[in-house]
Chains A and B, each alone.
Chain A
Amino acid sequence: MEVKKVNADPTKAFFVHTITRDIKLEDCILDLIDNSLDGARDLLGSPEPSLERAINFSKYEVAIEFSEEQFLIRDNCGGISLDDAINYAFTFGRREADDPDAYSIGVYGIGMKRSVFKLGDDIVIRSTRPQPKKGAGEEPFKVTIDVPGWLRSNVWDFDLDSAEPLSAPGVEIVVKSLRENISAEFSNPAFENRLRRILSRDYSRFIEYGLTIRVNGKKVKAFEFNLLISDAIKPFHGEFTLKGVRVQIIAGMAARPSDTQDPDDEGEKEDRSGWYVLCNDRMVLAADKSELTGWGYEQKNRWHPQYRGFIGIILFSAQRADQLPLTTTKRNIDRDHEIYKLALARMIELTRDWIDYTNRRKSALDEAKSIERTAVYVPAFTTPTNKQQVYPRLTSAPRAQDVTIQYSKPLRVVRELAQRFGEPGMSAREVGSKSFDYAHRELVGGGD
């Protein structure tokens, strides 16, 4: 195959130096996975995402491997067509004429380029297309980018050469000469753990559809969203459609609210409560507790540890990904988007129900706990359609004659005491209450 030129339009420096700063390393990796998944969805005939019907992704696999020296991602999701490669895939930004594939995640036409530039200087992208039943298939190709050389030259194009076929039709991207900060992260086991956690959460729908994602050889498990259900506790599950975008919402109780009200107490470092926003099955916001999802919107109902335990999930699906309220990094929401505004109003209402319940609960704690105990966990996505969130009706009066004691002590001393109580992770509140019980037992005797 003769050497062909790939068309890459405007502003080199803009992309390499500016755009790569606006995205986090892990989100770059997600961008590359998004492309693989778009490829797979295309091969499957672009099925619509939906909570009711599972899509079968079990044939598809994305493998990511990295070390201090290099990064690799390989998929078996069908590869890039030669036509796409020459006219679109390596162009910076989508042209007006190009429509996104149905129900894709990719929409802007910069993800892949931004990602590889962010990673390093020596980039090889290989693609192999499936062989048609009859007739000649497309030749496998590779695009090699030597970033410093490319920056120095006046041409915008990348060289496209023929290449050995990959072991399965798909794409393989290898980046070497990693940037120093990237290489440092790739040698950091905590980064690998974090990435695995992010993938498990953000592609949980796809993993549940059967997709395999491997990081350094190890399979990523799907993050499970579970909600509590009983006669007295029922999650909301509803939907609406506007201008071609289908919005599905699930919201309810995922755990008992925490007993501590003290924001200084070390709570869960990784608190799962909050809103989860998905666009075409891909998670965009996770466990969000900011104004973006209604907490503290117009100065009301700012997030507080009292509200722990609530999970809301909202899925936007659209045939045309450019109608989704997504930003280019796929890590944020365009809050001015008409559909998002409408959804947000619903989200605030749902959050409000929960906040009210946690308030009522405070004065009837024992009753609330005993009702909550009878609830069982079910996978959030399978909860039945239900127009109204239900939380326990509480009748019991507040406990008589309690008094709250509050005092401050040096943190170190509190920790030492916690360790002596046999539980170094104990909250300050518990240490206080245990110390009181201890003193009471010693000096007064008997129970409380």
Chain B
Amino acid sequence: MASFDTVNYSLRPNKAIQRQIVFDGLELLDRYIPLKKSLYIGFGSIWFTDFVLAHRRLQISDMISIENKPIGALRGKFNSPFKTVIVEEGDSSVVLRDIANREKELEKPWVVWLDYDRGLTREVLDDVGIVITHAPINSVLIVTINAAAGSLGKGAGGRQHYLKNLLGDSVDDGLPQESFESEGIVGVLANALQNYLVAQAVQLGRPGGLVPGFKIPYRDGSQMLTIGGVLPAPAARSAVKACLQSVEWPGFPGVPVEAPPLTLKEITALQRLLPSAKPISRAQLRRIGFDLEDEQLRTYCEHYRRYPAFLQVVN
């Protein structure tokens, strides 16, 4: 779960952008199904970035951070940002099941963000199954996994086989094997995993089903993927669907979140050109005195409002 040993959180612009997208979405959703009184469940690690945002932006106060190693748990407790954050030690599947067994946690909706840094495995799906089975109505489920091609097996054939075995009919049989080459695999994985969440909700008999709300591939050193949705009360389903399918809904970014790391100076200069009706050209950049790849420039302009403005833990 914890990646604090390998990565310095403050230098991860795309992780931050992705997080902003999720919380922008949750804030919008909050107007339809109030989230303030919900229980936030996540992997807070020692940074608790998402926990801080959940509290600041959604005013969620009840929060549980799952930590599977004793030292991590101790450091988590030490670094816990608010009085109401509880660190629970144990494997996510055990802790999630534990939470589901406590009556009082079932009285309010959950906002669960399973922010793994490992790839898709049966264990990830088991956790997802626990949440979809037990989460009270109007809960939100978000899953982040490593989506590097290698984590799904060797070669297109190997990956197709692996995904088909894990996700079954959620993988489109009509896809040619080329779709499972490393270039296209994130898209295939994203669709299949999203289908899987919907299918699980149907199969586990959730009356309101699951309405997909997040599909965010992003690059954070490795290729990552965030998928998620809402488990609405049947009566709230159509309102939630309207919200998640509206044009303002940020959860399905059209441009992958792959912004380049930029210096403060570059950010300031770029920001002064935005917003702009016309796409910013590289010629414009060169006139200011620097340059970026086409793709980098395009992603920055798409996501600039969420690009971390200062290099700090919470952005």
Q: Which A residues have a C-beta under 8 Å from some C-beta of B?
A: 180, 184-185, 187-191, 193-194, 196-197, 200, 218, 221, 266, 268-270, 412, 415, 419, 422-425
Contact = CB atoms under 8 A, between A and B. Distances in A.
A184 B169 contact: no
A191 B199 CA distance: 8
A180 B151 contact: no
B158 A190 contact: no
Contacts of B170: 189-190, 193
B152 A191 contact: no
Contacts of A424: 119, 121, 151-153, 162
Contacts of A187: 198, 202, 209
A190 B191 CA distance: 11
23 contacts: A180-B207, A180-B234, A184-B201, A184-B202, A188-B195, A188-B199, A188-B209, A190-B168, A190-B195, A190-B202, A193-B172, A193-B195, A194-B169, A196-B174, A412-B123, A419-B119, A422-B150, A422-B153, A422-B154, A423-B153, A423-B158, A424-B121, A425-B162
B39 interface: no
A188 B198 contact: yes
Contacts of B123: 412, 415
A191 B121 contact: no
B138 to A, nearest CB: 17
Interface string B132-153: 0000000000000000001111
Contacts of B152: 424
B164 A269 contact: yes
Query: 3 closest A-B pairs (Cβ-Cβ)?
Result: A190-B199, A425-B162, A189-B195
B79 interface: no
A423 B164 contact: no
B173 A196 contact: yes
B171 interface: yes
B161 to A, nearest CB: 6
Interface residues of B, number: 32
A425 B161 contact: yes
Given A193-B195, A196-B174, A269-B165, A185 B151 contact: no
A93 B161 CA distance: 45
A265 to B, nearest CB: 11
Nearest to A422: B154
Interface in B173-204: 173-174, 191, 194-196, 198-199, 201-202
Contacts of B69: none
B122 interface: yes
A188 B202 contact: yes
Interface of B: 119, 121-123, 150-154, 158, 161-162, 164-165, 168-174, 191, 194-196, 198-199, 201-202, 207, 209, 234
Nearest to B234: A180
Contacts of A197: 169, 173
A218 B174 contact: yes
A180, A187, A197, A422, most chain B CB atoms within 10 A? A187
Contacts of A221: 174
Contacts of B161: 425
Contacts of A190: 168-170, 195-196, 198-199, 202
A270 B199 contact: no
A190 B201 CA distance: 11
A190, A196, A221, most chain B CB atoms within 10 A? A190
Contacts of A185: 202
A329 B165 CA distance: 29
Given A269-B165, A269-B168, A270-B164, A419 B199 contact: no
Contact of A415 (B121, B194, B234): B121
Nearest to A195: B169
A269 B165 CA distance: 5
B233 to A, nearest CB: 13
Given A189-B191, A423-B158, 16 more contacts: A184-B202, A187-B209, A188-B195, A190-B199, A193-B172, A193-B195, A197-B173, A269-B165, A269-B168, A415-B122, A419-B119, A419-B151, A422-B150, A424-B152, A424-B153, A424-B162
Given A269-B165, A424-B151, A425-B161, A193 B202 contact: no
B198 A266 contact: no
Contacts of A194: 169
Nearest to B165: A269
A412 B172 CA distance: 28
B129 to A, nearest CB: 14
A266 B162 CA distance: 10
Contacts of B234: 180
Contacts of B174: 196, 218, 221
A69 to B, nearest CB: 11
A40 B13 CA distance: 61
A189 B199 contact: yes
A119 to B, nearest CB: 16
A185, A197, A268, A269, most chain B CB atoms within 10 A? A269
Nearest to A268: B165
Nearest to A198: B169
Nearest to B152: A424
Contacts of A193: 169-173, 195
Contacts of B158: 423, 425
Nearest to A185: B202
B162 to A, nearest CB: 4
A197 B170 CA distance: 12
A225 to B, nearest CB: 16
A309 to B, nearest CB: 16
Nearest to A186: B202
A180 B237 CA distance: 12
Contact of A191 (B122, B150, B172, B202): B202
A268 B173 CA distance: 14
A47 B90 CA distance: 66
A187 B195 CA distance: 10
Contacts of B153: 422-425
A270 B195 CA distance: 18
A425 B173 CA distance: 19
Nearest to B209: A184
